[in-house]
Amino acid sequence: MEASFPFAGGFCDCGGDCGPSHAARCYHHSPDWWRHADQSHHKGLGSTRFLSGTNGAVTDTYVYNAFGTTIANTGSTTNLYLFAGEQFDPHLNLYLNRARYSNANTGRFWTMDSNEGFTAEPLSLHKYVYAADNPVNLLDPSGQDPDLATTTASGGVASYISTITAQVVTRAASAQRLLRAAFKAKDFSEVGSLWNEYGSIAEDAAENVIQLLCRGSRFAVERAPKVATRFLDFSIKSGSKLLRIEVKFNLPQKGAALTRLEALGANFSRVVFKSGINGLFEYLTAFFGL
């Protein structure tokens, strides 16, 4: 089991007989690789590429297109865990991605996404698209709009952080263009909404970093914890360590926003400022000894 991956897990498919003499297919999922026990071998996105017997000889092979349609296979072993390691339902001809079923032939989900998405990310508004239409680099194991916690970080943590940063830049640039247009049109209601979008961009980026590092039973992560009369963005507890986080897209330099931030800081014995995604990542790693 790999507790650092959002859909980590392991299981054995042994047909109800898991005795020592029974050859079982065992699967163990981790973020950057699949490791096998007995018969199942995975690569890349976690797709099953071949099966082998207990003697190591290959018995079955699988080849998929980008969205997961099996385009070639050999062997006759019963195996339902195929593209991206997800369970295939041969009766429906669909993959089970927890919240929804997906259709590899169309690259779409069977039912609508419950997530609303972000106006600055048009693909997130599509209610049926699989993995943001980028199945080569992204996974969608939750069956919901893929977030960065489900990105296949083939380059490891550096790739993951780079992807978060790229999304922040893209969303911020889009928000800036819309903000200029709203000011020009004197649509001040839209201006207010777009200022809030900047806050959402920062909070989403922070949440992705927290999800990467602080998961499993060791951590208790709370969104919008209340401190005195204010709500912060995150609270993370692990053992005797407690960290509360307030996220800002830009640190206020003056005015009411700075006054509110100073008043909030007065509730704590120690306040630390960290800049950027890398700054948060490094601080969480050091604070919790990860």
Strands 234-238 vs 241-245: parallel, antiparallel or unpaired: antiparallel
Q: What is the pLDDT of residue 134?
A: 81
Q: What is the pLDDT of residue 149?
A: 43
Mean pLDDT, residues 235-246 taken together: 90
Alpha-carbon gap, residue 88 to 102, rounded angstroms: 9
Q: What is the pLDDT of residue 60?
A: 93
Q: Which of 161, 266, 270 is nearest to 206 (CA)?
A: 161
Q: Which of 275, 273, 272, 162 is nearest to 212 (CA)?
A: 162
Burial string for 57-86 (b: 16+ CB within 10 Å, else e) reads eeebebebeebbeeeeeeeeeebebbbbbb
Q: What is the pLDDT of residue 22?
A: 42
Alpha-carbon gap, residue 79 to 87, rounded angstroms: 9
Q: For 105-118, how does the pLDDT look when each residue is reduced to its tens digit (9 = 90+)?
A: 999 999 998 877 66
Q: Which of 39, 41, 71, 68 is nearest to 56 (CA)?
A: 39
Alpha-carbon gap, residue 143 to 238, rounded angstroms: 29
Which range among 32-41, 57-66, 161-170 shows the weakest confidence by mean pLDDT? 32-41
Strands (E) in the chain, as ranges, are 9-13, 25-29, 34-37, 40-43, 47-52, 58-64, 70-74, 87-89, 94-97, 100-103, 108-109, 220-223, 226-227, 230-231, 234-238, 241-245
Q: What is the pLDDT of residue 25?
A: 52
Higher pLDDT, 41 or 222: 222
Which range among 192-206, 231-245, 251-265 shows the weakest confidence by mean pLDDT? 251-265
pLDDT class of 75 with cuts at 50, 70, 90? very high
Q: How many residues does the chain have?
A: 290
pLDDT class of 161 with cuts at 50, 70, 90? confident
Question: Over 70: is that where the pLDDT of 220 sits?
Answer: yes
Q: Is 73:63 a contact under the CB 8 Å cutoff?
A: yes
